[in-house]
Amino acid sequence: AKSDGQGSYRFFEAAMDEKMRSCRKLEIDLRRALSLREFSLVYQPQVSLHTSAVSGFEALLRWQCPTRGAVSPLDFIPLAEQTGVITSIGEWVLRTACREAASWPNDHSIAVNVSGVQFAHPNLVKVVMSALAESGLAPQRLELEITESVMLDDQGQSLTVLNNLRSLGVRMALDDFGTGYSSLGYLRRFSFDKIKIDQSFVRGTAHDPAGQAIVRAISSLGQSLGMKTVAEGVETREQFDRVVADGCTDVQGYLISRPLPAGQIASFLDDGIPQ
């Protein structure tokens, strides 16, 4: 029994070593990816239910690694945050999104995800200013998406950052709404332009009265507070009809379009939204 115990301990140790090595390797690959231009952005349209027109796009990061293939942001963003690499990646995302969106045919807004580490970095406001200046994008067209968890640490400091960003003229969206806690407190203290209702509520089945009640409640809250409410992750016509009935102002999801490479935006806008 004793040797069994040691054996499994060694096995555990070896597995930990292996895990650390592969994390370290991923970190090195991530740092290299930036200089080797392995990142790109795709853009997913949002549609206004009021006008039935495209209201804006969300920029989403893609990594084509030569050895791993396409890696999902869900798999590398957490490590990029832990190691701090997210600061340089996030800066690249901001500059690239502003530059690419500046040349689009209409004045659609462009939403960029900002991670907690980026949000806490003292340079954020400067980086946003310089991305706007070098691209010539009007500040009103840039929207920054942050999640509730971004603001947990120091609420006073978070409010200062939010207000500084707002004073540049950029818009602020609260992402994945409903999945964190203390969300309502933030809505009270800062007037976001947009609430993005998490996919988990939107994609509940037809027999999910609780999910639907939550979407309805968030929409009505948004309306009272003068904030847009975007239903995320709408995949089916049925979900679409439901979020319309529940009072959302905008919709985003595969039903409208998958995220598109920058080169396809102009033709997407020309062809109109498939009904």
Could you list the residues that contact ligand C2E (CB under 6 A)?
Answer: 44, 60-61, 72-74, 77, 90, 93, 113, 115, 175-176, 233-235, 253-254, 259
Could you tell me if 114 and 144 are in contact, meaning their C-beta atoms sit under 8 angstroms apart? Answer: yes
Residues binding Ca ion: number (CB under 5 A): 5
Q: How near is the Cβ of 115 to Ca ion at its closest, in Å? A: 10
Owner of token pair 């996030």: 90
> Under the criterion CB under 5 A, does residue 145 sit at the interface with Ca ion?
yes
Pairwise CA distance, residues 95 & 86, whole Å: 14
Structure tokens at 103: 């040349």
Q: Give CA torsion, residues 263, 267, 273, 275, to 10 deg.
A: -120
Pairwise CA distance, residues 206 & 227, whole Å: 26
Q: How near is the Cβ of 23 to Ca ion at its closest, in Å? A: 22
Structure tokens at 71: 């890696």
Q: How near is the Cβ of 6 to Ca ion at its closest, in Å? A: 42
Which region among 31-39, 143-151, 213-221, 251-259 touches Ca ion (by CB under 5 A)? 143-151
Q: Which residues contact 229 (CB under 8 A, 6 or more apart)?
A: 194, 195, 197, 218, 219, 222, 223, 247, 248, 249, 250
Q: Which is nearer to Ca ion, 113 or 115 (CB)?
A: 113
Binding mask 170-209 for Ca ion (x = CB under 5 A): -----xx---------------------------------
Q: How far is CA 192 from its chain centroid?
A: 15
Q: Which is nearer to ligand C2E, 1 or 186 (CB)?
A: 186
> Under the criterion CB under 5 A, does residue 113 sit at the interface with Ca ion?
yes
Structure tokens at 82: 């832990």
Pairwise CA distance, residues 184 & 182, whole Å: 5
Owner of token pair 């907690």: 116
Q: Which is nearer to Ca ion, 113 or 183 (CB)?
A: 113
Q: Which is nearer to ligand C2E, 141 or 196 (CB)?
A: 196
Q: How near is the Cβ of 274 to ligand C2E at its closest, in Å? A: 14
Could you tell me if 29 and 250 are in contact, meaning their C-beta atoms sit under 8 angstroms apart? Answer: no
Partner in contact with 11, chosen from Ca ion, ligand C2E, none, beta carbon below 5 to 8 Å by kind: none
Which region among 20-28, 87-95, 232-240, 260-268 touches Ca ion (by CB under 5 A)? 232-240
Q: Residue numbers of the site for Ca ion (CB under 5 A)?
A: 113, 145, 175-176, 232
